[in-house]
Structure 1
Amino acid sequence: MPRTRRCRYPNCHAMVDFPDHYCQQHYEHEAEYLASRQRWARGNDKQYMHKYNTVTRYRNEDKRQQYSFYRTRQWSHLRQQVLERDHYLCAYCKVQGIITPAKTVDHLIPIEFDETLKANIANLAVICGSCHRVKTEFEQKYYGTGNGNTLKDVKPITDINRIVLMMNGGI
């Protein structure tokens, strides 16, 4: 038996099948209602991200401990120092001759690969969103990090110039 609900039009008591919100008589309001729900969802993103960050992201104990570091005072101070050191500019774009403002601080050698470097300021650099996506893909291929991958026995790379070359398919 299909799930049903009442039509959302004021004072209309007709029943509609899921996933519709309006009956046949008031169906012209469906698109407008769905658009308003999408606008609301974009404005209330924190509620959805909270569930992702507290439940979905930490499915295993290793990741839980890894990400708990990012909620410490030590990380907060390190992050601020790196942002000020790099003047809030993406270090990876700067190597390519592009000036891009950024607020994300990234580990050159991923924590998952070498956890001893997680609080080393020399292992940190500011990165923009587009470079971060490309670098994450590079790390998954080179180091074997990420969900479902196994870590590889490779030499860590600390030189940003070399990382950018390898991220962009060079060498």
Structure 2
Amino acid sequence: MARPCREYNCSGVVNSQAQNGYCDKHASKRSNWNRRQDRSGSTTQRGYGHAWRKLRELILKRDEYLCVICRADGRTTEATDVDHIVSKAHGGTDDQSNLQALCSPCHKSKTASERGRGRSKS
């Protein structure tokens, strides 16, 4: 069933559910959030075991348990996630300078926009 593109004032047509509501001209706006990386193996095997949990707590404490993106916009939001600024898949490390505390909505938005550009950095 054909539908109009979700982009404002676009006359394009979306023909399949896989297009996530955007025509081919606006394909970069598709989030691909559901196309998640392989999650096989334990948390420890994936690099998120005890050492990561300790580091995560350190980063949350360093950033005062507040989302750094929201804080930069003048909002106060509790951080629930620790994000790799440059993903491990793209050469990022678990170094403290490459980690930041984010709220869940900011983390999801950042990850989706980076994947939309073909550069997953979450």
What's the TM-score once normalised by structure 2's chain length?
A: 0.59
Q: Deviations over 1:83-125 (max 9, x none)?
A: 11011100011111111012211111111111xx322001001
1:138 Cα deviation (Å)? 1.9
Aligned mates of 2:61, 2:86 — CA distance in 1: 20
1:82 maps to what in 2? 59
Q: Is 1:109 paired with 2:86?
A: yes
Q: What amino acid maps onto 1:68 in structure 2? A: R
Deviation at 1:142, TM superposition (A): 3.5
Aligned to 1:140: 115
What amino acid does structure 2 have at the position aligned with 1:96?
D
Q: Which AA in structure 2 matches 1:137?
A: A
Normalised by the length of structure 1, the TM-score is 0.43
Where does the alignment leave 5 or more consecutive residues of structure 1 unmatched? 1-55, 147-171
Cα distance 1:112–1:64, how it changes in 2: closer, same or farther (>3 A)? Answer: farther
The structure number with the bigger radius of gyration is 1
Q: Which has the higher contact order (CA 8 A, sep 6+)?
A: 2
**Match of 1:68?**
46
AA at the equivalent of 2:98: N
Cα distance in 2 between the residues matched to 1:110 and 1:66: 17
Deviation (angstroms), 1:66:
9.3
Q: Distance in 2 between matches of 1:118 and 1:95?
A: 24
Matched residues, percent identical?
A: 31
Match of 1:125 among 97, 100, 104: 100
Structure 1 residues 139 and 87: alpha-carbon distance in aligned structure 2, compared to 1, 3 A threshold: same
How many Å separate the matches in 2 of 1:76 and 1:134? 23
Does structure 2 retain, via aligned residues, the 8 Å contact 1:89–1:99? yes
Do structure 1's residue 57 and structure 2's residue 35 form an aligned pair?
no
CA distance in 1, matches of 2:108, 2:60: 19
What RMSD over aligned residues (CA atoms) do the two structures have, in Å? 2.6
> Which amino acid in structure 2 is aligned with residue 95 of structure 1?
A
User: 1:80: Cα distance to partner?
Assistant: 1.1
The whole-number CA distance in structure 2 between the counterparts of 1:120 and 1:134 is 23
